[in-house]
Amino acid sequence: MSSTVVFNQRARSAEQKALRRHAVLEAAETYFLEVGYEAFSMAQLAKRARVVKGTLYLYFHTKEELFLTLYEQSLIRWSQVFIANLSEPMTSQEYAQALYNTAVADGAFLPFLIRLEHLIEHNVAIPRLISSKRVFMLRVEAVTEPTSTSLKLSQAQAREVVKTMGVLLIGATRADQGPSLDNEELPEDVQELINSFSSKPLFVKNAVRIIEGIRAEGASNI
């Protein structure tokens, strides 16, 4: 995503304000993808967007509110790509691999998702938090229907799969947010240990178990 320049003139109309807010979000995501969560600075964002720092707080009351908005954008974007990658029918493994691959490919989605509950949501106003939860619920429903079709599950089962996959994705990929050791020469036993905790096989293996468990539970209740 290319960085967007925001003009210095004051935005007066609703349309101008909406355009400026969109431009700030574009600049913020580009900046985030470059420096990551911890190094992100509102002062530096203001310089990149060519506005005074105070202007940012007209649109987002806290840095976390800005991150929450970026998370929502990435959630919507990822879910649309994921749905487009679903087919009928799919095995549990194919479904899990598609979910993992599209989540990782987005770039912004996982870093925000991992920090959502413990960092981002703690410094936003309750009304803003409520609106974000509603965005999440809408996306769960959007993914539930094609999940039901692809995995041949009931709506209730598919909804449970979708909700559980998010929790599993956070747990499996959290270790990937640490320092990269790809170019380091490590002892064989240490490398094997690291490989055994690689997020993709961990996620896919456990996702398949969960999906098949939900399927079996549904069959036993018939």
How many CA within 13 A on the CB side of residue 122?
A: 4
pLDDT the model gives residue 160: 97
74 in a domain, yes or no?
A: no
> Biggest alpha carbon distance in the chain?
65
Confidence label for 183 from pLDDT (cuts 50, 70 and 90): low
Q: At residue 40, what is the residue type?
A: F
The helix/strand/coil state of 176 is helix
- Flag whether 37 is in a domain: no
| Arithmetic mean of pLDDT, 163-180 | 78
Number of folded domains that form the chain: 1
Name the DSSP class of 118.
T
Evaluate whether residue 73 is within a structural domain. Answer: no
pLDDT value at position 199?
84
Assess if residue 171 is contained within a domain.
yes
The model's pTM is 0.84
- Give domain status of residue 41, yes or no: no
pLDDT number for residue 13 = 75
DSSP alpha helices (H): ranges in the chain? 14-35, 42-49, 53-59, 63-84, 92-106, 109-116, 126-151, 155-173, 188-196, 199-220
Asked whether the predicted pLDDT for residue 9 surpasses 80, the reply is no
Domain carrying residue 205: 90-220
* Residue at 193 is within a domain: yes
